[in-house]
Structure 1
Amino acid sequence: MQTNISRETLYELVWTTPVKTLAAQHEISDVAFAKTCKQHNIPLPPRGHWAKLEAGKKVYRQPLPERALGMPRDVAFGASKWNYYGSAPRNLIELELTPPQPFVETLGEVRAKLAKRVKKVTVSRDLSLAHPVIRKLLEADIPRREKYLASTYRSLYDAPFFDSPFEQRRLRALNALFLCLEKNDARVASSGKNPKEFCARVGLSDVSISIDDPKAERSSWYGGSDIAKAASNPLVVNINRAANVEELQTTWHDKSDDRVETHLTDIAVNVLVAGEHTCRERENSCYQWLLKYKADIIERANREREEAEKAARERRIKEEKARVDRLLSEAKALREAEEIRAYVASVRKLNKNSVDPVPEDELRNWALWALDQADRIDPVRSRRFLIDR
């Protein structure tokens, strides 16, 4: 089960209760618990802390650092990595959901603070000091280049991806941006070589990053002009392409007198702000999701209750009808039993006054059999009318 605890509450807990105890309460290992605290920048007591505390010695409590950009204000234990919002609390119906509290700083104030902190981004002349993501792309190009240069018939399908002046310029811009982001606690990753496959993780929030020719078609990397594409071709930078936020700039274009490289510092700041914005949006979206989920649970419970009540009513009606039908059947059986007895009495009377009567033994045997049948179907004699009431 998932439980959410505010950073401040968790900070107080870890400094008043041993981690092993807290971890057991959340049904995870103490290593996993400590790792979660570290991820959320919550300091833990050092070794010997509890022994000193028990001995009555003075201990130093490390203050709680500021929440990192892109990190949620609540710490989730037991959340599923496959579920965007984690899982709903088991007692959601009983919980009174309240909207998230406003953040202390607006995104504008976050941006202003970052603008002072982030140092100016400069683009190097070459890629000798490349970010690991860029270095991996360049290293993958080495065997392609060797094969291409050694071939007597050079096919563009075998050509290196990043040798053109344009691609070198693009990688240098990406490299400078990535190095800056890493210095500011963001982690850059790529799922491939295409420009749309780069992202920066700010806290626990992913921000997509693309630097490319605005007219480039990337469904297939290969193209006859790519290997000699000039560095003067325009570049466009996009972050969180689908985002539309007033406080957030997401696109920068090359201009004749203003290249995107001069805006890399501002781009880095906006990437970090975008990560914080995504984190805040997720918190609000989670609240809205819980509201809807709770309403759905209540609606489903009401519907199930109404369906159960309807089924119970229909069952009672059916049972009552069956009882009435049985009652009518028993009344009919009683009439038939009385008719048989009356018939036997009439036969005996008529036989006594008959010119050629049936012998008494035969008549008696028949009458006994007929009266037995009357008793058998008589619901009063058999007491069937009292069964299943």
Structure 2
Amino acid sequence: MRAGKPVPACVKASPRRPGEIGRLRVDGRFAKVLSATVPIPSNGPFASALVPEDLDELYAQELNAIGKVSAPQSLDRPHRGLVQLLKQEQRRRDKAAESDWSCDHPKFDTPLGKRRLRIFNALFLALSKRGHAGDAYDQDGEIHARAVIGDTYLGLDIVIVGSHRTERQQGYVRPAPDLPASTPLALRLDPGFDRKATLTWQDDGDSKLESKIAAVAAATIVAGEKKFRQSLREAEERAKREQIEQERRRQEHLAQLNQQRLQNLRTSGELLRQAQDIRALVERVRRAIDEGSVEIDCATLEAWQQWALAEADRLDPVRSGQIMTHLDEPSI
């Protein structure tokens, strides 16, 4: 269909955005026609038309681009990262209307649960203004969330600050459902999903988390870029460790091959001695017959001699080829 028509111009690569790896992933079957490019070096440069080299400059750039952010007071128009969780909540709500079982009730219909969802929603919407994303899901009655900065994932968590009343719900200790929405909260950024927060924002005085969404979003974008840069260093260190381990295994295998070569050499010597002993015995018997000290029928002697020499040849490491097991120096 395209025969004889102009070849379309090559698509220009978009500038690398924060958190992106700067590479395109293609199916492995293209390896025959496309050579894989190396990652960005861990020492940079990292700058692109959209990412300054300095992370402080990146923060200022993103904060300015995000601008003023207002947290919606409702979830009527949720970010797509919350849609699935809200649908689950609605299904529970519908089921609870026909059931008395507490396990059928919505899990985040409390004042504090709704506020958590509104904060995540505001943050995800702010990130989407800069081409990033986020999502949240329910696990064991808790909201688990993450930010997606380019190709980099960061954990997010909203926890209650200070002591508070709790209740045991379905085997888990959870905040009391009647805690007011004004209960102090803290939003924590957990880049490694290992509960080791690197940045934390919280309600303090008259300043609520909702008023800090722009700063949280900008810092999250910077954290995504920072984690990406760190991942390059970690990948290089991992590759170096793997190379060292591979060389260790190679040397270990080589030592085993050399040990086997030495054993094969000793075996050759032993086989050669056995072959020579048999040939010497045959010769000694023939001399004894010639000297008249032994009388053996000629046909019997000839048959025995052929059998004995054949056995000697079978044992002989040169004639049998056993010597080839240690002739060449081992290599991998």
Q: Per the alignment, do residues 190 and 331 of structure 1 end up closer, same or farther by CA in structure 2, a change over 3 Å counting?
A: same
Instruction: Tell me the SS of whatever aligns to 1:302.
Output: helix
Percent identity, aligned pairs only? 20
Q: Per the alignment, do residues 334 and 212 of structure 1 end up closer, same or farther by CA in structure 2, a change over 3 Å counting?
A: same
Q: Per the alignment, do residues 333 and 222 of structure 1 end up closer, same or farther by CA in structure 2, a change over 3 Å counting?
A: closer
2:297 pairs with 1:370: yes
| 1:243 shift after superposition | 7.7
Residues 250-308 of structure 1: CA distance to partner in whole angstroms, max 9, x if unpaired?
21233344322222211111211121122212222222222223333333333333322
Query: 2:153 touches 2:191 (CA, 8 Å); kept in 1?
Result: no
Counterpart in 2 of 1:253?
A: 202
Amino acid across the alignment from 1:50: V
Amino acid across the alignment from 1:370: D
Instruction: Tell me the SS of whatever aligns to 1:210.
Output: strand
Amino acid across the alignment from 1:108: D
Counterpart in 2 of 1:187?
A: 133
Counterpart in 1 of 2:44?
A: 101
Q: How does 1:82-231 map to 2 (within 5 A)?
A: 100-104=43-47, 105-149=53-97, 154-192=100-138, 195-213=142-160, 226-231=176-181
Q: Per the alignment, do residues 122 and 384 of structure 1 end up closer, same or farther by CA in structure 2, a change over 3 Å counting?
A: closer
What is the alpha-carbon distance in structure 2 between the residues aligned to residue 98 and residue 162 of structure 1?
44
Residues 66-96 of structure 1: CA distance to partner in whole angstroms, max 9, x if unpaired?
311111134454469xxxxxxxxx99xxx9x
Indicate which of 267, 275, 285 corresponds to 2:216.
267
Counterpart in 2 of 1:297?
A: 246
Counterpart in 2 of 1:71?
A: 20
| 1:177 shift after superposition | 0.9
Query: 1:156 touches 1:222 (CA, 8 Å); kept in 2?
Result: no
Residues 216-236 of structure 1: CA distance to partner in whole angstroms, max 9, x if unpaired?
789959779744221122212
Amino acid across the alignment from 1:66: P
What is the alpha-carbon distance in structure 2 between the residues aligned to residue 188 and residue 79 of structure 1?
29
What is the alpha-carbon distance in structure 1 between the residues aligned to residue 175 and residue 244 of structure 2?
57
Q: How does 1:349-388 map to 2 (within 5 A)?
A: 369-378=296-305, 388=316
Indicate which of 330, 335, 338 corresponds to 2:279.
330
> Structure 1 stretches of 5 or more lacking a match?
1-19, 21-47, 52-58, 81-89, 346-366
2:7 pairs with 1:50: yes
Q: Per the alignment, do residues 195 and 68 of structure 1 end up closer, same or farther by CA in structure 2, a change over 3 Å counting?
A: farther
Counterpart in 1 of 2:50?
A: none
| TM-score, reference length from structure 2 | 0.72
What is the alpha-carbon distance in structure 2 between the residues aligned to residue 201 and residue 115 of structure 1?
17
Aligned residues: 294
| 1:210 shift after superposition | 1.5
What is the alpha-carbon distance in structure 2 between the residues aligned to residue 78 and residue 219 of structure 1?
46
Q: Per the alignment, do residues 223 and 320 of structure 1 end up closer, same or farther by CA in structure 2, a change over 3 Å counting?
A: closer
Instruction: Tell me the SS of whatever aligns to 2:20.
Output: coil
What is the alpha-carbon distance in structure 2 between the residues aligned to residue 303 and residue 219 of structure 1?
56
Amino acid across the alignment from 2:153: D
> Structure 2 stretches of 5 or more lacking a match?
30-34, 48-52, 319-332
Amino acid across the alignment from 2:155: S
- Tell which deviates more after alignment, 114-123 or 64-73: 64-73
What is the alpha-carbon distance in structure 1 between the residues aligned to residue 239 and residue 175 of structure 2?
52
Query: 2:127 touches 2:133 (CA, 8 Å); kept in 1?
Result: yes
| 1:192 shift after superposition | 2.9
Query: 1:156 touches 1:223 (CA, 8 Å); kept in 2?
Result: no
2:183 pairs with 1:233: yes
Instruction: Tell me the SS of whatever aligns to 1:138.
Output: helix
Amino acid across the alignment from 1:204: D
